[in-house]
Structure 1
Amino acid sequence: MAVALDRIRVGSAPDSWGVWFPDDPQQVPWQRFLDEVAEAGYSWIELGPYGYLPTDPARLADEVDRRGLRVSAGTIFCGLHRGPSEWESTWEQVSRVAALTRDMGAGHLVVIPSFWRDDKTAEILEPAELTTEQWGHLTRGMERLGREVKETYGLDIVVHPHADTHIDTEEHVERFLDSTDSGLVNLCLDTGHYAYCGGDSVKLIETYGERIGYLHLKQVDPEILADVVANQIPFGPAVQRGVMCEPPAGVPELGPVLTAAQKLGVDLFAIVEQDMYPCEPGKPLPIAVRTRKFLRSCGA
């Protein structure tokens, strides 16, 4: 029998319903997402792309409350490695998302670094490696973001290592953590993205446990990933090939990840995020039901 993971709060996100954009005809309507995520047995959700769910706090609160749901976090993208000139546009985005996140009673803002390669066209937008100066901009910028988001909105930022960004591999993640203040910046460990980029989630949790502030649960298909790596396929087309797969078919094993997280002795959100953009409207719900059942079998 699985050990009860009583410090782990399981949820899901619009991403698991194929939602990547505020508005896209290939995506399910937000009402259907809310209905189905509740039906699948989840009680926590993320906001997803700002503007997908209603942005009026009173209306959104009503919609989630009557489905028995609560919000765990909002999400933003930013390119703070480019230096102080990025701050104004970053804060403009943050202020909208963080205000709604706070108003929904959530405590976290997930921060994803900007892509160095276009996730649709594969166009190289920037070098994949940052210069020393850019690393300085990135770490100082994230610390400033953490400080000001906390002071202004009462939220903790958790930085999300992500494929095709500058915080991706074990080397980059460890460099980022070693260069930032744990009082200002912690990590959203996405098990799928970290495996996609060659990292070991259990090892990271055991080594940098005090920096793990939030989890995204997903798996990668090792065979598809090998082809993606060999052919340097960008993230968007890799997702369309099914590189992010339904658990427990892929890696890493989620049971050991959740057990390692439980051992940290702190309350952690573990939000299921199975990248599936675009997908057929009827595909997400059965996967979500099976995934929730699987996570219960792990004790979560």
Structure 2
Amino acid sequence: MSTLSLAGGPVSWGVDFADATGNPPYTEVLDGVASSGLRWVELGPVGYLPRDPGEARAALAARDLAAVGTFVFDDFHRPDAAGRVLDAVDAALDAIVETGGALLVLIDRPGEERAGTAGRATLAPRLPDADWARMIDLLRRSADRATARGVRPVVHPHAGGFIEFEDEVERLLAATERDELGLCLDTGHALYAGGDPAELVRRYGRRVEHLHLKDVAATVRTRELGFWEAIAAGIFCPVGDGLLDLDALRTALDETGYDGFATVEQDRRPGSAGDPAHDLRRSVTRLRAAGLG
């Protein structure tokens, strides 16, 4: 049997970048996560929650929330960005350790080269071998820094990034060892890339150490949009409204004995239509009704 500890996070409010125009106050997000009945939260980009450790811990404690960890959403595929990426890793690790979190999620973010072909494997340009090797090296260096501070690093395949499609995930896993890097399986991004989340859970087995649970709207999935345009068009929807098969996912997780966190997300842009807190509550209700958390 699987055990899922459900969490929420600022991503469902459109917060991918701490300084983005239109981000809601962090207090609104934390209130929304707590109102959904969740007791765990991903912290979001460094600098969104208060940078002062005591203030951040107090904000969580006031809502009976505990930290899962956070992410680094950056250009791992760009050799010239390595210094900035490692600085971001160190800042994220500071935030995780200071709030008692456990996970660092590493994400190669969509750039101009791939965002326009997100979800379309036959059209997406692939990273040259030399740049791929440098990206793997940067992920490993980031993982080493996390491990040294007692934080578990996981890589998140992401629509529009250079680790998106199944062949790229397989190549990543073949190039790294289980003891150095785990995998964060995002059900929405897996669906976006044309995969079956339940089958991927079975295939990757114990390499899956973190989950992002989100759903994809079928009507938007069929449109040939770039990644950011697809988000603005509402490609990600409340869990249960789209393509995600909850029963199949639960069965696969039970078979592999998954035991860990699962962050409930709905990627959107700041200021997008809809009520993030309401959508999160709907998703959580449906997940729990399906035996997931």
Q: What is the TM-score of this pair, normalised by structure 1? A: 0.89
The 5-angstrom pairing of residues 171-250 of structure 1 reads 171-228=167-224, 233-250=225-242
- Which stretch of structure 1 is more off in the superposition, 172-181 or 62-71? 172-181
Is 1:134 the counterpart of 2:131 in the alignment? yes
2:286 alignment counterpart: 294
2:121 alignment counterpart: none
Q: Say if 1:73 and 1:107, in contact at 8 Å, map to a contact too.
A: yes
Q: What is the TM-score of this pair, normalised by structure 2? A: 0.91
Question: C-alpha distance in 1, partners of 2:77/2:161?
Answer: 11
1:109 alignment counterpart: 104
1:82 to 32, 55, 78: 78
1:255 alignment counterpart: 247
Amino acid in the other structure paired with 1:93: A
1:12 alignment counterpart: 8
2:92 alignment counterpart: 97
Residue 89 of structure 1, CA deviation = 1.7
Question: C-alpha distance in 2, partners of 1:69/1:258?
Answer: 25
Aligned-pair identity (%): 33
2:162 to 163, 166, 173: 166
Residues 201 and 6 of structure 1: CA distance in aligned 2, closer, same or farther (over 3 Å): closer
Q: Say if 1:117 and 1:234, in contact at 8 Å, map to a contact too.
A: no
Question: C-alpha distance in 2, partners of 1:187/1:243?
Answer: 23
Question: C-alpha distance in 2, partners of 1:166/1:281?
Answer: 29
Give ranges in structure 2 of 5+ residues lacking alignment.
119-123
- Which stretch of structure 1 is more off in the superposition, 15-24 or 159-168? 15-24
Amino acid in the other structure paired with 1:94: V
2:19 alignment counterpart: 23
Residues 281 and 243 of structure 1: CA distance in aligned 2, closer, same or farther (over 3 Å): closer
Amino acid in the other structure paired with 2:64: G
Deviations 1:217-273 (A, max 9, x none): 011112211113xxxx21111011111111211122133223322332242111011
SS in 1 for 2:222: helix
SS in 2 for 1:237: helix
SS in 1 for 2:101: coil
Residues 188 and 27 of structure 1: CA distance in aligned 2, closer, same or farther (over 3 Å): same
Residue 77 of structure 1, CA deviation = 2.4
Q: Say if 2:265 and 2:280, in contact at 8 Å, map to a contact too.
A: no
SS in 2 for 1:208: helix
Amino acid in the other structure paired with 2:237: C
RMSD between superposed Cα atoms in Å? 2.2
Amino acid in the other structure paired with 1:136: A
Residues 273 and 141 of structure 1: CA distance in aligned 2, closer, same or farther (over 3 Å): same
Deviations 1:28-48 (A, max 9, x none): 211111112101111111111
SS in 2 for 1:259: helix
Question: C-alpha distance in 1, partners of 2:72/2:55?
Answer: 21
Is 1:279 the counterpart of 2:271 in the alignment? yes
Is 1:147 the counterpart of 2:144 in the alignment? yes
Amino acid in the other structure paired with 1:192: G
Give ranges in structure 1 of 5+ residues lacking alignment.
none
User: What is the aligned length?
Assistant: 287
Question: C-alpha distance in 2, partners of 1:48/1:209?
Answer: 27
